């Protein structure tokens, strides 16, 4: 049983795609309130890692414990963990047939059994927080990418999750829209949310992260505070990666 | 010198599209004349030289115009078949009820997993009680006596009501994560789709009574409807499956990440979008189903097509088959055209919400 201030504990975890060893012996403890940035070259398994935390991907060995609940094949456990972890995707994945407000209230009404008025009040509160309350009655297709991603963050927050997972939230955005999404993420971090972010935004990592994790070939190669990580990287692969993303 | 832009007038359009070259002009004049001649002949036949009233039957044949007297005299047979004459008002109201329900289901207020089924089941119950009788002092009339347009609408509505939910179940089973369920469903769908509709109707009407226990046999008409609905469901299931597979994987993942259960994901996220994607082929399937109801004639039922045949089947009217067929064609056209216009309206409407 992990300590009560542990949000996620991943122990000796392995994952395969067929015969391809996608994640190798991952060990990772995340404290409540901790902000973690996961980075690494494409194909290093960083997205797969955070998708394992809410079981969008299966894992094949080891264990994952989220907020004291063991993530196994028990559907109740999976539901429990998904209720408490919000996720933001690279491609937003808003429901295109529903308005912004409906996107935000659907899960609270169905899963949390909230009353519609209550759910709508909460949704408007979070839409204010991400600075687009005036778009509530539009459809996702009528919004810009940056706006859609901010709605996606609000939608996840409406479930009042303990942990937020971000899977490359700015990678599909036009450059001028990246900062509006990062601003929302920074303010979320300031509120004390537990966050795990897969991202290439090194400025964001330096500003917000408590710990930066570098992955390559399905392994955690190096981890440390942003200062250690950026100013004094230990591993050769980390140095190569950093020179590539920071070099220009 | 600055160029100014002239908005092309109608005359400009006509000139550039139909009279640009000498060949264009010749073709336009030729085909224009042919079209006008056809339209004029049709108008002459159908209206100007036509005889309309049954009382004027003797005038038919003099002017080579249409003899609509046959419709005037026999329309009840075409619309109601062998349904008892003095009870035909019931058949008429029953048809109107289904048409009303169809019209109501075009109103977006009813587009909801609860309201739409309730609406259709109510409409269908009204139709059935009126047609079959036996309740509220209505004389009981067995399905063998149903016919004409009412029978066509009954078969169509029943097939849609049974077949639609069935097709959703089939589509979901075929996408099951358990391979043996998915494969079995796939085999059933492919088998039924590989059989001709005619043979399925025959099997359900004629062969099934030999193998089913007595209490399960039911009326021949219901057996045929069940067989037809099964056939419909197999085609429609594949249409819905196509709609589901067109969805990006991210949609279900987002719903999962929000903690939504399988049924919530299916009914709020997957199916609404799948139906949108599948709308054009679904309307197509409904149109085909409506027209193929005529096949029930082979197991001895008088749908609108068969009662049309009966309408000119007597010596008195035997010359008027063109008029009767035109009338039946008009009935089919009205229904099918309304159906496809409604489909086009839906597509335009849904396009707003999903760019």
Write out chain B residues lying below 8 Å of A82, CB-based: 256-259
In this predicted structure, what is the pLDDT of residue B65? 72
Residues of chain B with CATH 1.10.3720.10: 69-353
**Residue in B261, B268, B353 closest to A106 by CB:** B268
Residue A46 forms contact with B (CB below 8 Å): no
In this predicted structure, what is the pLDDT of residue B57? 67
**Residue in B254, B353, B355 closest to A93 by CB:** B254
Q: Count of A–B CB contacts within 8 Å?
A: 75
How close, in Å, is residue B272 to chain A by CA atoms? 8
**pLDDT tens digit string along A139-160?**
999 999 999 999 999 999 999 9
* Helix B148-174 with B69-80: angle, nearest 10 deg: 40
Q: Please enumerate, as own/partner, the contacts of B88-96 that have beta carbons within 8 Å and a separation of 24 or more.
A: B90/B130, B90/B131, B90/B133, B90/B138, B91/B130, B91/B131, B91/B146, B91/B148, B91/B150, B92/B150, B93/B130, B94/B126, B94/B127, B94/B130, B94/B131, B94/B150, B94/B154, B95/B127, B95/B149, B95/B150, B95/B153
In this predicted structure, what is the pLDDT of residue B76? 75
Average of per-residue pLDDT across A229-242: 90
CA–CA distances in Å: residue A49 to residues A52, A59, A71: 5, 9, 14
How close, in Å, is residue B177 to chain A by CA atoms? 14
Residue B108 forms contact with A (CB below 8 Å): no
Q: Please judge whether A87 and B259 are an interchain contact, meaning their C-beta atoms are less than 8 angstroms apart.
A: no
In this predicted structure, what is the pLDDT of residue B2? 63
**pLDDT tens digit string along B270-307?**
998 998 888 888 888 988 898 888 887 777 777 777 77
pLDDT reading at B205 higher than 90:
no
**pLDDT tens digit string along B57-83?**
666 766 677 777 777 777 777 777 777
- pLDDT over 90 percentage in chain B: 23
Average of per-residue pLDDT across B186-208: 88
pLDDT reading at B54 higher than 70:
no
Neighbouring CB atoms inside 10 A of A226's CB total: 17
Does the structure's ipTM exceed the value 0.85?
Answer: yes
Q: Please judge whether A107 and B269 are an interchain contact, meaning their C-beta atoms are less than 8 angstroms apart.
A: no
CATH number of B69-353: 1.10.3720.10
In this predicted structure, what is the pLDDT of residue A160? 93
Write out chain B residues lying below 8 Å of A164, CB-based: none
Write out chain B residues lying below 8 Å of A95, CB-based: 251, 254-255, 269, 273
Comparing A50 with B50, the larger pLDDT belongs to A50
**pLDDT tens digit string along B211-261?**
777 666 677 788 888 999 999 999 999 999 999 999 999 999 999 999 999
For chain A, the distance separating the N- and C-terminal CA atoms, rounded to the nearest angstrom, is 45
Comparing B56 with A184, the larger pLDDT belongs to A184
pLDDT reading at B353 higher than 80:
no
- pLDDT over 70 percentage in chain B: 92
Write out chain A residues lying below 8 Å of B350, CB-based: 97
Residue B269 forms contact with A (CB below 8 Å): yes
In this predicted structure, what is the pLDDT of residue B355? 45
Q: Please judge whether B253 and A96 are an interchain contact, meaning their C-beta atoms are less than 8 angstroms apart.
A: no
Cα angle value B203/B83/B222 (rounded, 5°): 25
Residue A87 forms contact with B (CB below 8 Å): yes
Average of per-residue pLDDT across A92-112: 94
In this predicted structure, what is the pLDDT of residue B203? 86
Comparing B157 with B321, the larger pLDDT belongs to B157
In this predicted structure, what is the pLDDT of residue A25? 92
Q: Please judge whether A91 and B248 are an interchain contact, meaning their C-beta atoms are less than 8 angstroms apart.
A: yes
Average of per-residue pLDDT across A70-79: 90
Q: Please judge whether A139 and B355 are an interchain contact, meaning their C-beta atoms are less than 8 angstroms apart.
A: yes
- Give A184's pLDDT tier (boundaries 50, 70, 90): very high
**pLDDT tens digit string along A32-69?**
999 999 999 988 999 999 999 999 999 999 999 999 89
Q: Please judge whether A111 and B259 are an interchain contact, meaning their C-beta atoms are less than 8 angstroms apart.
A: yes
Instruction: Give the mutation candidate from A51, A80, A82 for the B interface (greatest B CB count, under 10 A).
Output: A82
- Give A105's pLDDT tier (boundaries 50, 70, 90): very high
pLDDT reading at A4 higher than 80:
no
Write out chain A residues lying below 8 Å of B269, CB-based: 95
How close, in Å, is residue A136 to chain B by CA atoms? 14
Average of per-residue pLDDT across A72-88: 92
Instruction: Give the mutation candidate from B108, B257, B346 for the A interface (greatest A CB count, under 10 A).
Output: B257
Q: Please judge whether B259 and A94 are an interchain contact, meaning their C-beta atoms are less than 8 angstroms apart.
A: no
**Least CA distance to B260: which residue of chain A?**
A111
- The burial class, CB within 10 Å (0-12 / 13-18 / 19+), for B272 is middle
**Residue in A79, A93, A142 closest to B259 by CB:** A79
Q: Please judge whether B256 and A82 are an interchain contact, meaning their C-beta atoms are less than 8 angstroms apart.
A: yes
Averaged pLDDT of chain B:
83
**Residue in A97, A142, A155 closest to B272 by CB:** A97
pLDDT reading at A131 higher than 60:
yes
Q: Please judge whether B353 and A155 are an interchain contact, meaning their C-beta atoms are less than 8 angstroms apart.
A: no
Write out chain A residues lying below 8 Å of B254, CB-based: 87, 89, 93-95, 152
Q: Please judge whether B276 and A97 are an interchain contact, meaning their C-beta atoms are less than 8 angstroms apart.
A: yes
In this predicted structure, what is the pLDDT of residue B62? 62
Residue A111 forms contact with B (CB below 8 Å): yes
- Give A3's pLDDT tier (boundaries 50, 70, 90): low
In this predicted structure, what is the pLDDT of residue B1? 54
Please state the three-class secondary structure of chain B as a single string.
CCCCCCCCCHHHHHHHHHCCCHHHHHHHHHHHHHHHHHHHHHHHHHHHCCECCHHHHHHCCCCCCCECHHHHHHHHHHHHCCCCHHHHHHHHHHHHHHHHHHHHCCCHHHCCCCHHHHHHHHHHHHHHHHHHCCCCCCCCCCHHHCEHHHHHHHHHHHHHHHHHHHHHHHHHHHCCCCHHHHHHHHHHHHHHHCCCHHHHHHHHHHHHHHHCCHHHHCCHHHHHHHHHHHHHHHHHHHHHHHHHHCCCHHHHHHHHHCCCCHHHHHHHHHHHHHHHHCHHHHHHHHHHHHHHHHHHHHHCCEEHHHHHHHHCCCHHHHHHHHHHHHHHHHHHHHHHHHHHHHHHHHHHHHHHHCC
**Least CA distance to B275: which residue of chain A?**
A97
């Amino acid at each position: 049983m992990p300590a009560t201030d542990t949000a996620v504990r991943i122990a000796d975890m392995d994952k395969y795609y067929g015969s391809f060893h996608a994640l190798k012996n991952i060990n990772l403890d995340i404290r409540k309130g901790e902000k973690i940035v996961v980075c690494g070259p494409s194909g290093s398994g960083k997205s797969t890692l955070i998708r394992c935390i809410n079981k969008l991907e299966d894992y094949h060995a080891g264990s994952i414990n989220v907020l004291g609940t063991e993530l196994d094949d028990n559907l109740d456990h999976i539901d429990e963990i998904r209720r408490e972890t919000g996720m933001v995707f690279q491609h937003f994945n808003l429901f295109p047939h529903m308005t912004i407000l409906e996107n935000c209230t659907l899960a609270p009404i169905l899963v949390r059994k909230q009353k519609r008025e209550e759910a709508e009040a909460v949704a408007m509160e979070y839409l204010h927080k991400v600075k687009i309350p005036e778009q509530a009655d539009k459809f996702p297709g009528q919004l810009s990418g940056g706006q859609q991603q901010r709605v996606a963050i609000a939608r996840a927050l409406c479930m009042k999750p303990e942990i937020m997972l971000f899977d490359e939230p700015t990678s599909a955005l036009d450059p001028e829209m990246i900062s509006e999404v990062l601003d929302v993420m920074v303010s979320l971090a300031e509120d004390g949310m537990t966050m795990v972010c897969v991202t290439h935004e090194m400025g964001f990592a330096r500003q917000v992260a408590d710990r930066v994790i570098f992955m390559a070939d399905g392994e955690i190669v190096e981890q440390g505070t942003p200062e250690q990580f950026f100013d004094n990287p230990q591993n050769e692969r980390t140095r190569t990666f950093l020179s590539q993303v920071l070099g220009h | 010198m600055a160029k100014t832009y002239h908005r092309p007038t109608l005359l400009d359009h006509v000139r550039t599209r139909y009279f640009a070259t000498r060949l264009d002009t010749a073709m336009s004049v030729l085909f224009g004349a042919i079209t006008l001649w056809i339209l004029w002949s049709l108008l002459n036949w159908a209206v100007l030289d036509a005889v309309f009233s049954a009382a004027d039957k003797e005038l038919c044949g003099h002017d080579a115009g249409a003899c609509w007297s046959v419709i005037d005299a026999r329309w009840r047979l075409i619309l109601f078949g062998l349904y008892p004459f003095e009870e035909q008002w019931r058949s008429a109201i029953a048809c109107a009820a289904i048409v009303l329900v169809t019209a109501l289901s075009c109103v977006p207020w009813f587009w909801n997993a609860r309201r739409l089924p309730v609406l259709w089941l109510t409409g269908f119950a009204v139709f059935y009680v009126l047609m079959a009788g036996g309740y509220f002092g209505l004389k009981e009339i067995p399905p063998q006596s149903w016919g004409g347009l009412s029978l066509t609408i009954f078969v169509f509505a029943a097939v849609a009501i049974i077949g639609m939910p069935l097709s959703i179940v089939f589509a979901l089973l075929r996408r099951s994560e358990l391979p043996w369920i998915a494969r079995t469903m796939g085999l059933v769908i492919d088998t039924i789709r590989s059989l001709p509709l005619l043979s399925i109707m025959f099997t359900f009407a004629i062969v099934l009574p030999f193998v089913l226990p007595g209490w399960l046999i039911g009326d021949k008409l219901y057996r045929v409807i069940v067989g037809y609905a099964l056939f419909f469901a197999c085609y429609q299931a594949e249409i819905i499956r196509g709609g589901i597979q067109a969805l990006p994987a991210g949609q279900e993942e987002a719903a999962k990440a929000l903690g939504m259960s399988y049924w919530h994901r299916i009914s709020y996220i997957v199916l609404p979008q799948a139906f949108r994607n599948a709308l054009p082929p679904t309307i197509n399937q409904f149109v085909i189903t409506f027209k193929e109801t005529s096949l029930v004639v082979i197991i001895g039922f008088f749908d609108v097509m068969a009662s049309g045949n009966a309408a000119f089947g007597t010596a008195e009217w035997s010359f008027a088959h063109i008029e009767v067929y035109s009338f039946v064609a008009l009935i089919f056209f009205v229904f099918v055209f309304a159906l496809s216009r409604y489909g086009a309206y839906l597509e335009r409407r849904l396009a707003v919400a999903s760019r």
